[in-house]
Amino acid sequence: MNDFELNYELTGTGWAEVSFQKNSNVKIEISYLHDTLLDLSKMAISLSNGDKKAVALFMDEPGEHLLVVNNISEVVEYELRWYEDWVSWGLHPENDFEVILKGQSTTAQISNEITKVLKHLYSKYGLKGYNEKWAEHEFPIEQYELLTRA
């Protein structure tokens, strides 16, 4: 059931590569046009607080992925959706997507994986280095501190 694994690497100025699942080769490229790391941080906090649904946006150029997590009792179902254009900017219908990946996990596993990514990026780049590399958005330090204290 705990097949959720998250890896997040900055690959160039304003670009990152993200992979989502053990035993899968699903990797996506994301752009600085959206603050995905902040979305993921908020997702971890939201799920830890018992919220029933959380989403994180991964913007590409063009298109975008949306990670949708539904908290159903002790089981969390997640789905990675692909949109051919930016639904978040109203350029594509919200119900026109392809499911790239589905699975089940726990809120603890998803929160731990997101926290692991934050720790990795913070230790590798620090605040200044991350901000220089990501270009548009600052490292989500408040959420990082909240998650690492938990």
pLDDT tens for 40-68 read 999 999 999 999 999 999 999 989 999 99
CA–CA gap between residue 53 and residue 66 (Å, rounded): 13
Query: Identity (one letter) of the amino acid at 146?
Result: L
pLDDT of 135 > 90? The answer is: no
| Pair 89, 109: CB distance under 8 Å | no
Helices (H), 92-136: 107-134
pLDDT tens for 74-126 read 789 999 999 999 999 888 889 999 999 999 999 999 999 999 999 999 999 99
Helix (H) or strand (E) holding 143: helix 141-149
Provide the whole-model pTM: 0.93
Fold of 4-149: Secreted effector protein pipB2 fold (3.30.2450)
| Pair 26, 128: CB distance under 8 Å | no
For the chain, the domains span 4-149
Q: CB under 8 Å to 101, separation ≥6 — which residues?
A: 20, 21, 24, 26, 78, 79, 80
Residue pointed to by tokens 């913070």: 122
